[in-house]
Amino acid sequence: MNKEEIKAHFLDLQKSIINQLEMADGAGNFGSDTWQHHQGGGGITRVFTNGNIIEKGGVNFSAVSGELTLAASKALEIEAKEYFATGVSIVLHPANPFVPIIHMNVRYFETENGNYWFGGGIDLTPHYINKEDAKYFHKQLKAVCDKYSDSFYPKFKIWADNYFFLPHRNETRGVGGIFFDRLNEESTSLKKEDLAAFVIELGNLFAPLYAHFMLKNSTTPFQDENKHWQSLRRGRYVEFNLAFDRGTKFGLETGGRTESILMSLPAQASWEYDYHPAEGSDEELTLNALKKGIDWING
Amino acid sequence: MNKEEIKAHFLDLQKSIINQLEMADGAGNFGSDTWQHHQGGGGITRVFTNGNIIEKGGVNFSAVSGELTLAASKALEIEAKEYFATGVSIVLHPANPFVPIIHMNVRYFETENGNYWFGGGIDLTPHYINKEDAKYFHKQLKAVCDKYSDSFYPKFKIWADNYFFLPHRNETRGVGGIFFDRLNEESTSLKKEDLAAFVIELGNLFAPLYAHFMLKNSTTPFQDENKHWQSLRRGRYVEFNLAFDRGTKFGLETGGRTESILMSLPAQASWEYDYHPAEGSDEELTLNALKKGIDWING
């Protein structure tokens, strides 16, 4: 499978996810901005507004190519001059605090000297953790992983725990999911075709998986205190994305399109000095479950 | 002037600023949290709540000592094992969008082998830029600078333009001010006593300077659209502090107290995809003035 075919699959994936999300939401729609990269290629940024369920979100496609700067090749730890990168990135912030925030990314990278890899991940950030939901989420991810390699889910689950982590808070971002990078024949013993099939199948899982959570709780009644907590949790999401997320940092530093990268930020977020939820509250239960190493499937 | 005397001056400065801000605000008050650093020393974090004018803010004092990690000494580009650092840090977010956000920091750093330096700065971030206000602000800073060296204001003004800058937005954070670092006898030809006097005088300028802006516009009527714009500008403030501010990054990475460091974040902030203010609006005028190199004093 060559880069043009992978790019075409990702473009189809973007369309398919958008159709399903618009259907699940029932009201909002995705605006569309086509942009050019300053070196080569570009992308289609589609941001969701005025939704019934999704307050703010984006489903972005990009396929860019160009010369690797010294800083970029150093950061990527590769020796190459030219690169091609394509991917789909999604972050969705729901209005109802009982619907979780979700993130997905699938990407493909190659250089002129034949090196390539796939990367990506899906992780869930509930404002209120529900163990059954977390179990359902992880089981669906595991089912796709297991079709390709028994080693994928256990390895990628730990990778997500470590990646989606706020060291200054000693908190995971949410209930994790899977994260992977640099997948190629060398690192996995799987053929390029199989790895491509894996990320595309994962991409295709996304919309029905999130639609399940959208429909489950989008009409659950909530109080001001639930919105307040949601707003504080969004503040943590902002902290992670701006201060720690390597994708965001790499994008902003290498002259990526700012508005496309920062579509991941919520419509609104809050900070309150030294906030501690009441003892025994649902908020405290959630906070106590933001830990690495929880076995959500069998736990 | 030894480190204990400098520390005592900074502690007095914190108290004096708090008294003046409470008086200017008339309603809010500063809670007080005393904390210990894991290596040595600690701080007093005082966060402002329930103000008439200041919605959220902090006036922090700290005096910490300990061993420099390899990463820290590398980041600071010094060879030393032990350090002592003391300072006062302030960020104030007003409720009224016509009152500007302000930041001040004065700090002193020394190592066991006799190296020392002073650093700091004051910068103003109006949600709506008023040229007369910016002129007044810069004139006051220049007056203090000029008492110590003619070279200070021109140099420190450029330094602030470059430091308080969001490269991914190609915007300055606000109308700038002054920023300086590594001031010692070697770098300035001024005696340590004079440099200490400079940062203390700058610290003493802070409260009356900001009280002027608090009282000038805190009762100016505003509309929803002004609050909306304030909220988006706060989003930019969050972007700068989390993604670019070296003090925040250094603090979070070296195990500083998270809640004290992140007191700089507003109570609430917003993001809207690809927002452009209306042509000719006050919001657009402000956006167009967020540039480096503007001579606010002489226009």
Answer yes or no: are the C-beta atoms of A58 and A87 closer than 8 Å: no
Average pLDDT estimate for A28-35: 92
Q: Of A91, A224, A273, A274, which to mutate for an interface test with B (greatest number of B Cβ within 10 Å)? A: A273
Reading the block at residue A81, the tokens are: 């001059």
pLDDT of residue B234: 98
Q: Which residue has the higher pLDDT, B40 or A196?
A: A196
Please tell me the distance in Å from A210's CA to the nearest CA on chain B.
Answer: 22
A232 in B contact zone (CB under 8 Å): no
Average pLDDT, chain B: 95
Mean pLDDT for B37-57 is: 92
Map tokens 């053929």 to a residue: A191
Confidence of residue A89 (pLDDT cuts 50, 70, 90): very high
- Any domain includes B293: no
Q: Sorting pLDDT into bands at 50, 70 and 90, what band is B250?
A: confident
DSSP state for residue B265 in the 8-state scheme: S
A29: chain B residues, CB-CB within 8 Å: none
- Percent of chain A residues topping a pLDDT of 70: 100
> Are A51 and A68 a contacting pair, CB within 8 Å?
no
Tell me, yes or no, whether A296 lies in a domain.
Answer: no
Q: A95: exposed, middle or buried (C-beta count within 10 Å: 0-12, 13-18, 19+)?
A: middle
pLDDT at B299 over 90: no
The pLDDT assigned to B76 comes to 80
Alpha carbons within 13 angstroms on the beta-carbon side of residue A112 total 9
Given this model, what pLDDT does residue A69 score? Answer: 81
Summarize pLDDT for A263-289 with one digit per residue, the tens.
Answer: 999 999 999 999 999 999 999 999 999
d(CA B153, CA A127): 47
Residue written as tokens 């090196």? Answer: A115
A231 contacts B268? CB cut-off 8 A: yes
ipTM, 2 dp:
0.95
Q: Which of B9, B93, B103, B127 is catalytic?
A: B103
Asked if the model's pLDDT at residue B285 lies above 90, the reply is: yes
pLDDT at residue B40 greater than cutoff 90: no
The pLDDT > 90 percentage for chain A reads: 87
Q: How far is B192 from chain A (nearest CA, A)?
A: 35
Residue A250 has pLDDT above 90, yes or no: no
**Contact between A262 and B239 using a beta-carbon 8 Å cutoff:** yes
- Count of domains forming chain A: 1
Q: List alpha helices for B173-271, DSSP H.
A: 185-188, 192-217, 224-243, 246-253, 258-261
The domain that holds A248 is classified in CATH as 3.40.1500.10
Asked if residue A299 is part of any domain, the answer here is: no
Confidence at B273, pLDDT banded by 50, 70, 90: very high
Taking residues B225-239, report their average pLDDT: 98
Q: Does the structure show a pLDDT above 90 at B277?
A: yes
Residue B237 has pLDDT above 90, yes or no: yes
DSSP letter (8 states) at residue B31: -
For the cut 90, the answer to whether the pLDDT of residue B256 exceeds it is no
| Closest chain B residue to the Cα of A259, Cα to Cα | B274
Q: Is A103 a catalytic residue?
A: yes
pLDDT score recorded for residue B109: 96
| Closest to A57 measured CA to CA, from A28, A86, A27, A20 | A28
What pLDDT does residue B126 have? 98
Cβ–Cβ below 8 Å for B252 and A243: yes
Question: What average pLDDT does range B60-80 have in this prediction?
Answer: 86
Tally the C-alpha atoms within 13 A of residue B146's C-alpha that lie toward its C-beta: 6
Mean pLDDT within A19-40 = 92
What single-letter DSSP state applies at residue A222? -
A173 domain-assigned:
yes
**A261: in domain:** yes
Residue A115 lies in a domain: yes
A33 touches chain B (CB under 8 A): yes
pLDDT bin (cut points 50, 70, 90) of residue B71 is confident
The identity of residue B205, as a single letter, is: L
Find how far residue B260's CA is from the centre of its chain. Answer: 14
Is A155 within the bounds of a domain? yes
pLDDT at position B211 is 98
Per-residue pLDDT at A157: 98
Residue A78 pLDDT level (bands cut at 50, 70, 90): confident
Residue A263: domain span: 3-288
Q: In this model, does residue A39 exceed pLDDT 90?
A: no
**Residue with token string 């942009």:** A35
Distance of alpha carbon B17 from alpha carbon B28, whole angstroms: 14
pLDDT-derived band at A72, boundaries 50, 70, 90:
confident
Lowest-confidence region among A135-139, A242-246, B65-69, B135-139: B65-69
In the prediction, which pLDDT does B81 show? Answer: 87
pLDDT of residue A46: 97
A272 at interface of B, judged by CB pairs closer than 8 A? yes
pLDDT the model gives residue A80: 85
- Per residue in A97-153, pLDDT tens? 999 999 999 999 999 988 999 999 999 999 999 999 999 999 999 999 999 999 999
Q: Which of A103, A138, A168, A212 is catalytic?
A: A103
- Structural domain contains residue B299: no
Region A213-230 average pLDDT: 97
Measured in Å, how far apart are chain B's first and last C-alpha atoms?
39
User: How many C-beta atoms lie closer than 10 Å to residue B62's C-beta?
Assistant: 24
| Shortest alpha-carbon distance between residue B141 and chain A (Å) | 30
In this structure, the strands spanning A116-125 and A101-111 are: antiparallel
* Confidence band of A76 (pLDDT split at 50, 70, 90): confident
- pLDDT band at residue A253 under the 50/70/90 scheme: confident
Q: Which of A239, A262, A271 lies closest to B271 in CB terms? A: A262
pLDDT > 90 in chain B, percent? 87
d(CA B248, CA B245): 5
Confidence at residue B113, expressed as pLDDT on a 0 to 100 scale: 86
| Token representation of residue A258 | 């700012």
Residue A45 neighbours by CB distance under 10 Å: 24
Least confident of A62-71, A211-220, A228-237: A62-71
Q: Are A90 and A119 in contact (CB under 8 A)?
A: no
* Closest C-alpha among A103, A101, A61, A104 to residue A85: A61
- Supply the mean pLDDT for chain A: 95
pLDDT of B75 > 90? The answer is no
E strand spans, chain A: 29-30, 33-36, 41-49, 54-67, 82-94, 101-111, 116-125, 165-166, 171-172, 176-183, 268-270
